[in-house]
Amino acid sequence: MDNYTGPAVLFRLGALKQGEHIDVALADGATTVFRITGVREYLKAQYPASVIYGPTDYPALRLITCGGVFDSATGHHLSSVVVFASLLSATRGS
């Protein structure tokens, strides 16, 4: 969560673009690379959980954070930003 020390780790998630890559370093030393297939913003009242959390027929990554307008009355954002990505490559760890 953003606070007085600065923005949270996923603050710029919505700035990612389709086609960009996300490298994920795994605990065993392996690295996986995912290609972004889409970046979407959903109102929390219309959040498509089955699309975001549902099964895929390929290795997939979903990154989710708060987005959209901040409602100071509730202390929450009204939307969620979701990055969709599919596995491009993986290297073996140690």
pLDDT in tens, the chain (94 residues): 566 677 777 878 889 999 999 999 999 999 999 999 999 999 998 999 999 999 999 999 999 998 888 888 988 889 999 999 999 999 987 6
Question: What's the predicted TM-score (pTM) here?
Answer: 0.85
* Percent of the chain whose predicted confidence (pLDDT) is above 70: 94
Instruction: Establish if 57 belongs to a structural domain.
Output: yes
Instruction: Establish if 1 belongs to a structural domain.
Output: no
CA distance 35 to 21: 5
Query: How many separate helices (H) and strands (E) can be counted in the chain?
Result: 1, 4
CATH code of the domain in which 26 resides = 2.40.260.10
Instruction: Establish if 66 belongs to a structural domain.
Output: yes
